[in-house]
Chain A
């Protein structure tokens, strides 16, 4: 999957905006939204919010988790824990990128938030890499990682199965060269991590 595809999926999330025009309900394929009333907050999908923002028709309300204290807490949690902690939502990276990109003036402390989110991302990526490394080194075929977001999984998608595949081939080759031992039968299938790879 392309990162753009994940971004597309992430854009479907609902965020809150304050329109500056008045319009009644709109009926979209994904659902109905509205009526739009100038000055009052309402919920719309992220892609719609961005489009309206670019046309200067609304003001985006940053989601609850996009706040310095909350993010600092998440970062501390992530640093402390050996495993992955639950992220505020499945597509935090996508949301952060889009909102901070298009509507940074609506978000207080936008640059600091960018830094903190980037830190969280880096911590998680490094954990992912070490865990992959451990998986490869131990030669195991099955690993389980919870609370990974789509974007993170996607970043290792090209690499991990290919690596394990090569490893398997090398193993098979080496097994072929050694005298055939009837007991050796079970190859643990390289399953990868439990979540959709």
Chain B
């Protein structure tokens, strides 16, 4: 196989460049005319470590973990490797040092210089072992034989001298060096080399060929030449194994010969035909040769031994060695195996240890790679983390950033740290500054408490934010350490390494201890519910297997539900939190935000933050999610996954957007809005929702797919929309559709009568608003895209709960909770709103009901009729029973409609009021708003 040349790369400025390998063959060291010494991992390495040693560096040599560099002080300076600290001067000259050379077996350095001296020095420095002073010109190169017997030097006076080191006398002189009076002008450097394994030969370039001298007799053993060599050979170098010889010419050609046969394995032309100034073989013996040229470039030749293996990396190298071993072993085994039957089959042993198949061919290199047994390595399980916090090792970090405020931790040089809390709304609390002498590393901020936790010895410290800022703390039992904490307005929770979830009230009463089914990953909380994410099993090949426990506390009751957490493949959870309506949300490090809809029990992707990033390395740090305003508050982090503390980052609001298909089309946009409003408790009024639904219906009508329009109306189940839709359809000329719609309307009315009866018997009592027991709501007629209706009905049937929509003046109720329910009841825009709202006030409305004929709230026709049958009979004595029934139906409808209309307007006003509740300040008339209230 041919020698392959890798493309040249820039290494140094123009000028003489020297190269050498480190002893392990892993790094290439070059030095050049710019005075830098560069350490490269490979020729592909774009970022070599670079050290400046002076104005220019002419020679470099690596020996015994030290680098020897010829610096511009005319000295040979030793540096430690890889730290590159100065380690002493080996020897000094009075003129620039031209070469530093050593051999693997000897403990000395050969150094040559322009000042006509060549020295052999010991590695430590001190007095040189041998000084060759007979030169009459600049000494261009030196070589020492591996037995420390002979040394040879080539000098610019034209003579190559061979010395005997012991006697310090010249043994032989050969004229082969072109005469030159300075190293800098020398093209032919006449670099010579002794054969490194045994020192049998000395190779020196002589014009266009390389002459191999036998070291005993000093006679010419062989001459290496090649027909395509056009000019003088400047350097020659033996390979580390001594089998091959490389030579380079002034025109930059490099040729490799095999010593035994004298064949030239290959010759490579320099891409830019520059003079090669240095050659170095990789001491690993893998056939890799690096060279530098006069313009400072670095090149590499691979496969100089001409073997099958074409790559020069370690895998194949190992295989190479294995191959060698194979051959040797094969011989041994062949000799042994046939002899003894009882002997352990060496072949088998060899196969097992080397993992090779006996029948492998040389020509199938691919199968060799599977020789290493593959181990299935999965990803490591995700460690626990605090959501909305930055990494612990930072000097200034955020411990928690949510909608209440920001908790920062600053660590000083001496290890002391301080925590400072800044509230977004200064009316909640003034800023807090604490000395972190307990070394808290976790924090969570809620509207009622600041929770801090440290690791060993594990303690939970809470500072109350209401009232007089009292502080309470509690220590964990021995050997238990807190891994995550969270705090919400009604609860503080911490998860420990004993897989326990400990729950406390905000003022410090211990509530509960729950066992988690796996190591905890993160915690979040809302009001009195805690979401705990943990590993439900070991992670797979690329995915984490996470699951969340939703623990709802109400009074003394505890309810728990486990749900799996979906993640993007190969991603990890990077944030967990609750929205302002109490739905848990998860965010993974690929930027997808998912919301868990309690009613439906499904995780839905609600935002893909990567669509808002401008750069590839931008990521978003989630702060808070607000379902009411349908926005996600996040901080854009450029080039990092977390924001810096200074400058103070600005929170941006991103829209919640369900990733439906073709979102740039109108139809998809309406669909997205409807889906979003159905599954997240959005602060949207019914009118807007109805308009959107109607627009979608209009699009469906126009799309020629009448069935789709019909289907849509059936889906929405809003009887207010139905007449409007029918009108629109008939205006468009789709009479058929309009007819069908009116039919639907009638069927619904009949069904709803039956429905009311069914509902009353279905519903059971439920304690809390945060119950996730969806099984109760088996409303078959529930609209597909409005589960809110279901939830609402659930709440409405509980006699325990006071009427939510009416602005209750009682201040005893938790204002937050009231707001919650009010908003919950505000949306679900597409429900049979009137009927539901009417149901909500069973007791209240009944007192207004004086007229017996007036149907009671929620009463079905049958009940009303049976109740008022006698009255009706009295009123209309002439009617037959069937006629009476029909009359009754008509009356019932009329009266109810009147009720509805009046109630509806009443409701509408009430809705507006409750909307006003949601916003903090009371609604004022526009004019009074001009008055600037001093309180702010």
Residues of chain A in range 23-38 having any CB-CB distance to chain B below 8 Å = 23-28, 35, 38
* A22 interfacial contact with B, CB 8 Å: yes
Q: Are the CB atoms of A23 and B921 closer together than 8 Å? A: yes
- Assess A20 versus B921: contact at CB under 8 Å? Given A39-B651, A57-B936: no
Q: Are the CB atoms of B650 and A26 closer together than 8 Å? A: no
Closest CB of chain B to A99's CB: distance in Å? Answer: 15
Chain B residues with Cβ below 8 Å from A108 are 647
* A40 interfacial contact with B, CB 8 Å: yes
Of A22, A25, A28, A108, most buried by chain B (CB within 10 Å of CB) is A22
In Å, the complex CA distance between A57 and B425 comes to 9
* B426 interfacial contact with A, CB 8 Å: yes
Residue of A nearest to B933 (CB): A23
Q: Are the CB atoms of A40 and B929 closer together than 8 Å? A: no
Q: Are the CB atoms of B633 and A21 closer together than 8 Å? A: no
Pick the contact of A20 from B426, B653, B930 — CB < 8 Å?
B426
* B372 interfacial contact with A, CB 8 Å: no
Pick the contact of A24 from B424, B427, B921 — CB < 8 Å?
B921
Q: Are the CB atoms of A23 and B936 closer together than 8 Å? A: yes
Residues of chain B in range 911-936 having any CB-CB distance to chain A below 8 Å = 919-921, 926, 929-930, 932, 936
Of B405, B650, B653, B932, most buried by chain A (CB within 10 Å of CB) is B650
In Å, the complex CA distance between A22 and B423 comes to 12
Closest CB of chain B to A22's CB: distance in Å? Answer: 5
Closest CB of chain B to A142's CB: distance in Å? Answer: 47
In Å, the complex CA distance between A22 and B403 comes to 12
Chain A residues with Cβ below 8 Å from B403 are 39
* A45 interfacial contact with B, CB 8 Å: no
Residue of A nearest to B402 (CB): A39
In Å, the complex CA distance between A38 and B428 comes to 10
* B364 interfacial contact with A, CB 8 Å: no
In Å, the complex CA distance between A38 and B403 comes to 9
Encoded as 1 (CB less than 8 Å from any B CB) or 0, chain A from 1 to 26 comes to 00000000000000000101111111
Of B405, B653, B920, most buried by chain A (CB within 10 Å of CB) is B920
In Å, the complex CA distance between A82 and B633 comes to 46
Closest CB of chain A to B406's CB: distance in Å? Answer: 8
Chain A residues with Cβ below 8 Å from B425 are 20-22, 38-39
Chain A residues with Cβ below 8 Å from B920 are 22-24
Q: Are the CB atoms of B930 and A35 closer together than 8 Å? A: no
Chain A residues with Cβ below 8 Å from B919 are 24, 35
In Å, the complex CA distance between A59 and B920 comes to 22
* A168 interfacial contact with B, CB 8 Å: no
Q: Are the CB atoms of B936 and A40 closer together than 8 Å? A: no
In Å, the complex CA distance between A28 and B927 comes to 10
* B813 interfacial contact with A, CB 8 Å: no
The B interface, classified by DSSP as helix, strand, loop or mixed, is loop
Residue of B nearest to A41 (CB): B650
* B648 interfacial contact with A, CB 8 Å: yes
Residues of chain B in range 400-426 having any CB-CB distance to chain A below 8 Å = 403, 405, 423-426
Pick the contact of B650 from A18, A23, A24, A57 — CB < 8 Å?
A18
Of B403, B424, B633, B921, most buried by chain A (CB within 10 Å of CB) is B424
- Assess A20 versus B423: contact at CB under 8 Å? Given A27-B930, A59-B648: yes
In Å, the complex CA distance between A27 and B932 comes to 10
In Å, the complex CA distance between A166 and B926 comes to 56
Q: Are the CB atoms of A26 and B633 closer together than 8 Å? A: no
Residue of A nearest to B633 (CB): A40
* A116 interfacial contact with B, CB 8 Å: no
Chain B residues with Cβ below 8 Å from A20 are 423-426
Chain A residues with Cβ below 8 Å from B652 are 41
- Assess A39 versus B926: contact at CB under 8 Å? Given A23-B936, A57-B936, A59-B648: no
Q: Are the CB atoms of A21 and B936 closer together than 8 Å? A: yes
* A68 interfacial contact with B, CB 8 Å: no
- Assess A26 versus B423: contact at CB under 8 Å? Given A39-B403, A40-B653: no
* A61 interfacial contact with B, CB 8 Å: yes
- Assess A39 versus B424: contact at CB under 8 Å? Given A21-B936, A24-B919, A108-B647: yes
Q: Are the CB atoms of B650 and A21 closer together than 8 Å? A: no
In Å, the complex CA distance between A60 and B427 comes to 19
Encoded as 1 (CB less than 8 Å from any B CB) or 0, chain A from 108 to 145 comes to 10000000000000000000000000000000000000
Chain A residues with Cβ below 8 Å from B405 are 39
In Å, the complex CA distance between A38 and B624 comes to 13
Pick the contact of B651 from A35, A40, A57 — CB < 8 Å?
A40
Residue of A nearest to B929 (CB): A27
Chain A residues with Cβ below 8 Å from B926 are 27
In Å, the complex CA distance between A27 and B651 comes to 25
Chain B residues with Cβ below 8 Å from A38 are 423-426
Q: Are the CB atoms of B647 and A26 closer together than 8 Å? A: no
Chain A residues with Cβ below 8 Å from B427 are 21-22
Pick the contact of A61 from B424, B650, B921 — CB < 8 Å?
B650
Identify the 10 closest CB pairs spanning chains A and B, nearest first: A39-B424, A38-B425, A38-B424, A27-B929, A20-B426, A24-B921, A108-B647, A22-B425, A24-B919, A27-B926
Name 4 extra pairs, CB < 8 A, besides A20-B423, A20-B425.
Answer: A23-B920, A27-B929, A38-B424, A39-B633
Q: List 17 A-B contacts (CB under 8 A).
A: A18-B650, A18-B651, A20-B425, A21-B425, A22-B425, A22-B920, A26-B932, A27-B926, A35-B919, A38-B423, A38-B425, A38-B426, A39-B403, A39-B424, A41-B652, A57-B426, A57-B936
